[in-house]
Every structure is written in C-alpha cells, then in structure tokens.
C-alpha cells in the first residue's frame, strides 16, 4: 500500500512545489494525476507548468482531451484519471479515498498553511486516511527547508 505525503506550504507557492514534486515523480517513472476541485485552479496550474524553464519541460495535459490516457501528468477533476496514475496529487482539498491508495505508489496532499479552511481540510484528510490504516507522513517547510514532522 502506498503512503500519503502531506505537504504544508508556508514558504513556497503551490506552483513551485507542485513542479518540484512532479519532476521527482516523473524521474521515478510515475504517471501522475493532479486532482483539484475547480477548473480555475487547474487552468492556473496548467499555465504555470507550461511557463516553466525551457530546460525543465514537463509534459502534461488537462483532462478532456483526445490523448488523456497518454499524458504522463494529467490535471483533472475526476477520481478516475484516464492516464492510470501511479501517483495522485490532491490540491484544493480534493479527496483521496483510502481504498484507492492500494493501487498507487504514492499519494500527496498539498495545502496552503496560510488558509484556515485548507488546514482544517488537510487535518480531516489525515484523520480519515490514517484512521483507515493508510501510512502517512507530514512535511513542513516552516524553517525554509522541507522536513518531516510527523508519521503515522
């Protein structure tokens, strides 16, 4: 069963952290679904990923296209991503169900540490997933560097 890594964003933006995690996931050979709750945020992330450095091209797509199943990274609202991901990244508090973790190599939850609602949602996700027996790690960047602060 995969672990879920929770990333408490306080120093860097979602776009920067997401790009770093996607690059690492792709380097591991994983297909990734970035699951959000609004088209507006996924469109914003899509633009940010295309605007990355020339030497850091990160192939990805938005769901709803003819080649969704071929995308190494798919930005989606769906709980059944067409690219058959090895890793699911939750943004905006998108749900990751405990039963879907078994089919993944990793799941990640990225949340804004300056948003009280996002903090509450992440805490509820932690409780639901760990309560169902899913192993989880909590990562914080409060010191300016990512450090694991809790494990379940």
Domain assignments of the chain as residue spans, ordered by start: 3-151
26-58 as b/e, with b when 16 or more CB fall inside 10 Å? beeebbbbbbbeeeebbeebbeebeeeeeeeee
Q: What pTM does this model have?
A: 0.95
Report pLDDT digits (tens) over 100-134.
999 999 999 999 999 999 999 999 999 999 999 99
CATH code, residues 3-151 = 3.40.50.10110
The confidence score (pLDDT) of residue 117 equals 97
Average pLDDT, the chain: 94
List, for the chain, all residue ranges whose pLDDT scores fall below the cut of 70.
55
What pLDDT, on a 0 to 100 scale, did the predictor assign at position 57? 78
């Amino acid at each position: 069963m995969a672990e879920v890594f929770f990333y408490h964003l306080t120093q860097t933006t979602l776009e920067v952290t997401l790009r770093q995690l996607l690059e690492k996931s792709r380097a591991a050979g994983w297909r990734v679904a970035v699951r959000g709750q609004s088209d507006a945020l996924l469109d914003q992330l899509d633009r940010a990923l295309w605007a990355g450095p020339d030497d850091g091209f990160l192939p990805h797509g938005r769901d709803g296209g003819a080649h969704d199943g071929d995308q190494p990274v798919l930005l989606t609202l769906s709980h059944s991503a067409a690219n058959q991901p090895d890793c699911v990244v939750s943004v905006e508090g998108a749900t990751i169900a405990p039963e879907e973790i078994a089919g993944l190599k990793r799941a990640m939850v990225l949340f804004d540490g300056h948003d009280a609602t996002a903090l509450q949602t992440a805490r509820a996700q932690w409780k639901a997933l760990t309560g169902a027996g899913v192993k989880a790690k909590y990562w914080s960047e409060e010191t300016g560097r990512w450090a694991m602060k809790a494990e379940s």
